[in-house]
Chains A and B, each alone.
Chain A
Amino acid sequence: MKHITTPLPILDGFDKVSGRLCYAADMKIEGLLQTKLVFSTVAHANIKNIDMEEARAVPGVIEIFHHGNTPANTYNSTIWFEGQEGVEDEKMFPGLVRHVGDRVAAVVAETQQIANHAASLIKVEYDILPAIFDALTAERFCAQTTASGQDSVFDKPVNETVFDYGNTRAALDSADLVVEDTVTTPKTHHCALENHICIAKPEADGRVLILTPCQSIFAVQVVVARAIGLPASQFRVIKTPIGGSFGGKAEPVLDPLCAWFAKTLGRPVSIALNRSETFTATRTRSKAIGHIQTAVNRDGRILARKTSVLVDIGAYCTGGMFLPESMSQRLRRIYKIGNQSYRGRSFYTNTLPTGAYRGYGSPQIHAISEINLDHVAQQLGMDPVKFRMKNLVHPNDTDPVTGLDLGNARIRDCVEQGSAHFGWSKKRATRSTGGRLKRGLGMACATHINGCFPGFHEATTATLRVREDGGLDLTCALHDLGCGSNTVLAQIIAEVLDISPQRINFSRVDTDICDYDLGTRASRMTYIAGEAVRRTAERLKVQALLVASSVLNCPDTELLIKDGRVFRCSESEDAASLGELATYEITRGRSLSATETYRATANPGSYAAHFAEVEVDILSGAVKVLTYLAVHDLGRAINPQLVEGQIHGGIQMGMGFALFEDIDINIENGHMRGDRFSRYHLVNAPEMPPVEVLLVEKKEPTGPYGAKAVGEIATIPVAPAIVNAINHALDTNITELPITPERIIEALSLAHLQHNSNEQKKAGTQ
């Protein structure tokens, strides 16, 4: 192993830190118009009137767009291929706004300042409608309206996913112990460094070019086409360097508008949101309320589990139709449970639409199930690690519903090695109980997928070509979101062809150049795209050796590639460089290149076990995470340095999910309180604990060089591990996230009151 399993800094890292990399906001485009959007200030209303007179009169205003002069096609911004079905309920500018932050109008002007000023002069009159801000109310509303036969968009759940295998009811009835919890997770925001932005530009050939930081150029193309009502071929999409996404830029929010403005005005147009607008008018993680019952026998075997989840998807469906299904899978891929039922439903509310966010439902469902499991262990009087070990899956177990193989699932190794390394048993036994600062230990397990198989034509096509200088050109729609996926892919190609990763040139991610690809989603980059480029490189290698054999007049079996040059096995002097072979091929009217389409055949699980020690101040309610250990089964780390980076970042996000982050919708009026960093608190450097990472590298046979995904799973077990540690420290069962100091003080006060009333009862009976 020369180029993989070695740390390599991100290939474009220097360009990023030196400011040489040109993001969308840095692009200098002649005559570029700027946009200011006008957003709804009410949660649900018909727009009665938009008074634009004053705004129009401002010199430099080019046009004001609104529901009266834009296409009224409905679309779903989450679709990613032509012909994909989805609940189509979005419009560029709806006449009926459904949430605070919904789009009412847009002022396009010569400068941003003019646009801002004109937008501030627009007056909107609303006919206010009743609004719903939480899933529980939505559920009640749906029950009522279904009975009374009313018909509005909010009438029924967007999606209901159920599974039921074994005999859950009977097992729950007959079990030694059934432990029940209701766990609530918050709506959290991606907080990528780069705010949402899009640039669209009319091209000489009549098409519109869209420059956008995105996760899939083809998804942008198809959504824009649907919204505008023209064929996708009318739009060319190029991905710009992206300043972070985490799912926030998976759906084209601004692109349909921007393309339409450019097309109508015949001039290039930019829409750039500021931070608060990115908070209030793009996407968020869905809020889940999970009710879960787990039945066990006395020796700690899980007999049955019943889970019901309400998912608050906000005002538009987007990916809300997939979330209950996505959550359901996770419940079947980590513990061996003989009887299990699940019901997941997505409900509309008059709040910001939800979308993809690192884990796609996994952080929510794992918070629900892993917090409950610690509660079960506590009720059993059993150590949570021991309890989990009795129930975790083994390698090559199968999903009881789909029958899919879980692959080389090494969660048991993660828990065993992790608990030993962390000194779990010893620390757990010696926790301090007295005084103001309480310490506790918690852990949680997690699983996540590797790609979209068996659904949605999970495939990637890549083309590799040898340049005359011996470097390689890779053509593939690869959306590196800043995490370094391109670096990892370059290492894989480099390993096959023994060439420096720096000599691989990545093509522009452009719908005119690349073959179709799903984009960066579902933890598929290393596992799927990695295998695709590995196979492409292998094919190219075969081809290069064939060419070499004809040039050198020697059987290809006697040749090998080293340092980008072809050698005869028997000689130390090289016979030909890859560049010479490419040149030779060109003179013969051919190209030294290979194209390969890799179609996935499996979807193994990635696994992780995280361990945390916390200290809780019972007066201020402040939680300090003292130490943290993350153990990951990722098959094999192609780039251990980037893996570690992903895990550290995942812990930072997961800690926020557990302790701080919440967009905090005001249930009186639907306004978002956490729409800025002074009110939306991220975990910053001083809050981070020392983090240790342990990798279980037992190789997944279907992954490139045995690799599996780590990007999303890195954040999934974090919140339950920390919540479990807090509950251990305080002897509480707090299940509402984030666990803010207020919630800790409230839980302690309640526990205290309960304790007192119990004492009084005791005293009374004596």
Chain B
Amino acid sequence: MVQAAKASNLQELSVLVKGFSGKVSFIAGGTDLIIALQQGARPDLIIDISSMDDLNFIEIDAEEVCIAAATPLSKLAQHRGLAAKLPLLTQAAMQVGSVQIRNRATIGGNIASAVPGGDLLPALKCLGCRIEILRRDNTVTSHDFDEVVTGLGKTCLGNGDMITTIRIPLRFGRNRISAFGKIGRRRELTIARLNLAVLADYETDANRINDIRIVAGAIGPVPLRLRLVEKRLRGRNVNQAFVDDFLHSLIAAVDAAISGRASQAYKRIAIMGLGLDLMQNLFEKEFSCPEKPKALT
């Protein structure tokens, strides 16, 4: 028999979790959990955390953005302060599922589900977030993204552990620019077959990229930081040659990540489309589509 309980604040929650020995699931939006339950998942206790004020807020100060785990994605997508400070996260949040899903799904749930195409994940990793976890024994631990999301549907969360807060540092160079894009089967309400987050420190006057971070999703069990691509681009001026180089190194990254997979032939071309969109988005300039021969070799 599955038991259900509701917590109205973190204190109540830790009492509930501590006093329970069986398997615990948390429900906020339920967009993943309800499907899992229908498919036979059987926790012993489900704790409703959907109406906890201390798990639903966005705070912004000079140093960082702090987002509580049960904050719905629609709130992320519509938050003006967030759009001003972290447009990358806003863009990613806006592209998750549909309006209805975004109204229910939460940022913490998106991380805990750790699905390979999860749209927030590359953005969060790219932004260098720290994730705080309230452990079952009532201690709080803080982690890098990679420590938390460890594999396909795998996280470092033990039974009764819960993500409480996501902290995203705002410091990244002097002029940060960013872009997020995805390719799915459809334009909307679609699971990403590829997604890409780019964060750069761009010196406008010199037209130079001082620093850049690129993270791709859905080409591996966890979001993949494309360090080789970054290396090729750092310190360069932005022009068509730069874009061509970016696109071709994306192909190389896909080839390395999913070599021999059935989806490779498609994704190595499609990522160029995504990359080109992102470049145009980042620099608000038109770049031309690379010559086919090079892309195909």
Chain A residues within CB distance 8 Å of chain B: 120, 274, 435-436, 617-622, 624, 660, 678, 681, 683-684, 686-687, 740-742, 745-746, 748-749, 752-753, 756
Known: A436-B289, A660-B185. A745 touches B270 (CB 8 A): yes
Residue of A nearest to B268 (CB): A745
Complex interface residues of chain B between 249 and 266 (CB less than 8 A to chain A): 263, 265-266
Contact (A749, B186) CB under 8 Å given A436-B276, A742-B265 = no
Q: Which residue of B lies closest to A678 (CB)?
A: B191
In the bound complex, how far is the Cα of B269 from the Cα of A211, in angstroms? 53
What residues of B have a CB within 8 angstroms of the CB of A621 in the complex? 266, 269-270
Q: How far is the CA of A746 from the CA of B270 in the complex (A)?
A: 11
Contact in complex: A619, B266 (CB < 8 Å): no
A749 with B270: CB separation less than 8 A: no
B186 A684 Cβ-Cβ under 8 A = yes
Q: How far is the CA of A741 from the CA of B263 in the complex (A)?
A: 11
Indicate if B158 sits at the interface (CB-CB under 8 A).
Answer: no
Q: Which residues of A contact B185 (CB under 8 A)?
A: 660, 681, 740-741
Interface size on B, residues (CB 8 A): 24
With a cutoff of 8 Å between Cβ atoms, the chain B residues found around residue A745 in the complex are: 265-266, 269-270
A-facing residues in B41-61 (Cβ within 8 Å): none
Cα(A749)–Cα(B264), bound, Å: 13
C-alpha spacing A274/B185, complex, angstroms: 24
- 11 A-B pairs in the complex with CB atoms less than 8 angstroms apart: A620-B273, A621-B266, A624-B187, A660-B185, A660-B186, A687-B188, A741-B270, A742-B263, A745-B265, A749-B296, A753-B296
Bound Cα distance A617, B40 (Å)? 41
Shortest beta-carbon contacts, A-B, top 8: A619-B273, A620-B273, A436-B289, A686-B188, A742-B266, A681-B185, A620-B270, A745-B269
Which A residues are CB-close (under 8 A) to B38?
274
A687 touches B187 (CB 8 A): yes
Contacts of A660 in B (CB 8 A): 185-186
- Assembled-state Cα–Cα distance A748/B40 (Å): 44
Q: How far is the CB of A732 from chain B (nearest CB, A)?
A: 14
Asked if B200 CB lies within 8 Å of chain A CBs, one says no
Q: Which of A435, A740, A741 has the most CB of B within 10 A?
A: A741
Chain B residues with Cβ under 8 A from A753's Cβ?
Answer: 296
Residues on B with C-beta less than 8 A from A617 are 273
**What CA separation (Å) do A436 and B266 show in the bound complex?**
16
User: Inside 8 A of A618's CB, which chain B residues have their CB?
Assistant: 289
Residues in chain B near residue A741, CB distance under 8 A? 183, 185, 266, 270
Q: Which residue of B lies closest to A120 (CB)?
A: B40
Let me know if B270 and A619 touch, CB within 8 A: yes
A111 to B188, CA, bound (A): 38
B292 within 8 A of A: yes
Provide the residues of chain A in CB contact with B272, threshold 8 Å. Answer: 619
A746 touches B289 (CB 8 A): no
Judged by a CB distance under 8 angstroms, whether B19 is at the interface is: no
| A120 to B288 Cα, complex, angstroms | 56
- The docked-state distance in angstroms from the alpha carbon of A619 to that of B188 is 18
Mark out the residues of chain B between 217 and 242 whose CB falls within 8 Å of any chain A CB in the assembled complex.
none
- CB-based nearest A residue for B263: A742
Q: Mark B175-214, 1 if CB is under 8 A from A, else 0.
A: 0000000010111111100000000000000000000000
12 further A-B contacts with Cβ under 8 Å, apart from A621-B270, A745-B270, are A436-B273, A436-B289, A619-B273, A619-B276, A621-B266, A684-B188, A740-B185, A741-B266, A749-B265, A752-B293, A752-B296, A756-B293
Task: Name which residue of chain A comes closest to B270, CB basis.
Answer: A620
Within 8 A of A (CB), among B132-163: none
Contacts of A619 in B (CB 8 A): 269-270, 272-273, 276, 289
Q: Is the CB of A681 within 8 A of B40?
A: no
> A759 to chain B: closest CB distance in Å?
10
Which residue of B is nearest A744, CB measured? B266
Contacts of B89 in A (CB 8 A): none
Query: In the complex, what residues of A have CB within 8 A of residue B292's CB?
Result: 748, 752
Cβ A749 vs Cβ B273 within 8 A: no
Nearest chain-A residue to B188 (Cβ)?
A686
| Closest chain B residue to A620, Cβ basis | B273
**Nearest neighbor of A437 in chain B, beta-carbon distance:** B289
User: What is the chain B residue whose CB lies nearest that of A746?
Assistant: B265
Q: Check A749–B191 contact: CB distance below 8 A.
A: no
- What is the distance, in angstroms, from B3's C-beta to the closest C-beta of chain A? 15
Name the residue on A nearest B38 (C-beta): A274
Of B185, B272, B293, chain A has the most CB atoms within 10 Å of the CB of: B185
A622 CA to B270 CA in the complex, in Å?
9
Residues of B within 8 A of A742 (CB): 263, 265-266
Taking CB atoms, residues of chain A closer than 8 Å to B94 are none
**A687 (CB) vs chain B CBs: closest residue:** B186
Write the nearest CB–CB distance from A615 to chain B, whole angstroms: 12
Contact A749 B269 (CB under 8 A): yes
Complex alpha-carbon distance, A660 and B187, angstroms: 12
B274 contacts the other chain (CB 8 A): yes
